[in-house]
Amino acid sequence: MGILEVKGLSKSFGDLHVLHRVDLDVREGERIAIIGGSGCGKSVFLRCLNLLEVPDEGSVSIAGQEITAMGADVDRIRREMGMVFQKFHLFSHYDVLDNLCLAPTRLLGMGRKEAEEKAMELLSEVGLAAKSREFPSVLSGGQQQRIAICRSLMMEPKVLLLDEPTSALDPTMVGEVLAVIRMLAKQGLTMLIVTHEMKFAQEVADRILFFANQGIYEQGTPEEIFEHPKRELTVSFIRKHTFFSYEIQWRSEFDLMNLQGGVWNFTEKYGIGKKRSYHLQLSCEELIYEFFRGSFADSDEVSIRLDIIYAQALDRIVLEVISGGMAYDPFLAESQDSSEHMDHIGITFLKKSVKSFSYTLEAGKNCVRIEL
């Protein structure tokens, strides 16, 4: 028997059927990431587990206690499932320590001193002990979410439910919250996490649930879902790519600032961080000038195309540069031409800073592919 058992769970809102006969068995200590497109029922499923949304049919049991049973003590059983929301929901008129101590003292009968000691221990673990007497309004979103996680842990839940815990945060604050969840994963806490952070899901989860068509459409290990998805909708979701392309036909008309602006706008649109955006811009610049030098040394007419492919689900960026002209491997030239090493120093740095790089000559075209 698992720590959490779901059988035949269904939920509709009027004529909108969101979940249909969903089954799930969660082992103690298992970390499950729930992914899928917007509106596929991920958050509704999570809220049905602790009856924040009442299922139309089916059963939910936590540690052998069925919360959906007729006459069940819902409030008592619900305490076994901690819930972390998108929007923190801290009490604004209480300071951090009071926010953490309120539930265990009122619901569990814990003494105030014991509650404060436990709260300070948790705050220390997430790096916020110094904020114990601050009010939520003076804290950053990332700090508030870390405190909301601590508040759930104060009740010592058997299962922690996290509903897109980083979706309301500025991108600069996402990392600090994910670091706390990684810490909890290492401690063996059972967790179900609804997330759009695919790279994080790959790193932390034991099992991935892909939601579509009113339920769990496909499930498996991170490797099975992200590297070898089997079903059509899963493949489409995981392989979803966005593109940016740029062509250069005349060296004299090449506008570097125009290219860099296009790359910047592309990365801004898809939430790619400033550091990676800058790295991508530099990579484009270095490769273009290498091909100007190596493939079109004596010609103003050039033929170079850049394609940036961003796999959103995997958070993977690939830059492909296709160049006509003379056959020229910029990576090989950089390593052999010691007399003009300074001319190729940008490529030297590029090779050391990317995840992978390759060069091929295909149908008379120079093809460079790098992954950032």
Do 333 and 363 fall within a single domain? yes
Tell me: pLDDT of 103 over 50.
yes
Point out the domain boundary residue: 215, 238, 261: 238
How does pLDDT run across 65-82, given as a tens digit for each residue? 999 999 999 999 999 999
Q: What are phi and psi of 2, to 5 degrees?
A: -80, 170
Q: pLDDT at position 240, please?
A: 80
Same domain assignment for residues 247 and 227: no
* Whether residue 264 sits in one domain with residue 211: no
Q: At what angle do helices 345-353 and 274-294 cross, to 10 degrees?
A: 140
Q: Predicted confidence band at 333 (pLDDT cuts at 50, 70, 90)?
A: low
pLDDT given for residue 345 in this prediction: 66
Q: What is the CATH number of the domain that holds 53?
A: 3.40.50.300
Q: Is the pLDDT of residue 250 over 70?
A: yes
Contacts of 310 (CB under 8 A, 6+ apart): 241, 242, 243, 244, 266, 270, 272, 316, 317, 318
Last residue of a domain, one of 172, 207, 238: 238
Question: CATH number of the domain that 335 lies in?
Answer: 3.30.565.10
Indicate if 51 and 93 belong to the same structural domain: yes
219 & 247 share domain = no
Reported as a single tens digit per residue, the pLDDT across 135-193 is 999 999 999 999 999 999 999 999 999 998 887 777 677 888 888 998 888 888 999 99
pTM: 0.71
pLDDT higher than 70, residue 52: yes
In angstroms, the Cα distances linking 210 to 187, 220, 274, 314, 368 are 25, 9, 30, 14, 34
Q: Which pair of structure tokens corresponds to residue 157?
A: 């839940």
220 and 337 both lie in a single domain: no
Considering the domain architecture, whether residues 276 and 151 belong to the same structural domain is answered as no
Taking CA 24 as the corner, what is the angle to CA 21 and CA 26, rounded to the nearest 5 degrees? 165
Which pLDDT belongs to residue 342? 46
pLDDT (0 to 100) of residue 89:
86
Whether residues 130 and 247 fall in one domain: no
Same domain, residue pair 224 and 247? no
Count other C-beta atoms under 10 Å from residue 346's C-beta.
18
1 pLDDT above the threshold of 70: no
Given 238, 260, 289, which residue is the final one in a domain? 238
> Could you tell me if 257 and 204 lie in one domain?
no
Domain that holds residue 354: 241-371
**Do 186 and 324 belong together in one domain?**
no
**Per residue in 264-273, pLDDT tens?**
988 888 888 8
Predicted local confidence at residue 335, as pLDDT: 55
